[in-house]
């Protein structure tokens, strides 16, 4: 399953499928990007990050892809599980911004059906 940033904020997948969550970021000068997972009633939880000098980074079951040409970020979750159901936010840090100020995307709701 795949979401498209602001226009399709909900993604429903079956357990075991791969999920792709997309994010269109706003500033070509952003140099650092973070994906957060937020479960209901909890604070955002860091998943994975990527610097602008990279185009791919892998973690455990997650991969982040960065396409600076089109200012696009994606989060791929392999073998999605019901515990992955949450809201996923991308965040960008503008290069030179003082104190690490982040700009968040609007979020995508991921629902995983058993």
Partner 1 sequence: DTEVTQTPKHLVMGMTNKKSLKCEQHMGHRAMYWYKQKAKKPPELMFVYSYEKLSINESVPSRFSPECPNSSLLNLHLHALQPEDSALYLCATRRNSGGTQETQYFGPGTRLLVL
The residues binding partner 1 (CB under 8 A) are 31-32, 34, 36, 41-46, 49, 51, 87, 89, 93, 95-102, 104-107
CB of 67 to partner 1, least distance (A): 18
SS3 content of the chain, % helix, strand, coil (to 5): 10, 55, 35
CA-to-CA distance for 95 and 72, rounded, in angstroms?
17
CB of 107 to partner 1, least distance (A): 6
CB of 20 to partner 1, least distance (A): 20
- Whichever of 16 and 83 has its CB closer to partner 1, that residue is 83
Residue with the two structure tokens 């937020």: 38
CB of 31 to partner 1, least distance (A): 6
- Whichever of 18 and 63 has its CB closer to partner 1, that residue is 63
DSSP string, 14-68: ETTS-EEEEEE-S-TTEEEEEEEEE-TTS--EEEEEEETT-SEEE-SSEEEEEET
């Amino acid at each position: 399953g795949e979401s498209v940033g602001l226009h399709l904020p909900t993604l429903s997948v079956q357990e075991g499928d791969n999920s792709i969550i997309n994010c269109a970021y706003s500033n070509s000068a952003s140099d650092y990007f973070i994906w957060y997972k937020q479960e209901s009633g909890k604070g955002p939880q860091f998943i994975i990050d990527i610097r602008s000098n990279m185009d791919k980074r892998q973690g455990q079951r997650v991969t982040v892809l960065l396409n600076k040409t089109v200012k696009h970020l994606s989060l791929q979750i392999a073998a999605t599980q019901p515990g992955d159901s949450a809201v996923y936010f991308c965040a960008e840090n503008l290069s030179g911004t003082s104190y690490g100020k982040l700009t968040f995307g609007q979020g995508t709701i991921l629902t995983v059906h058993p």
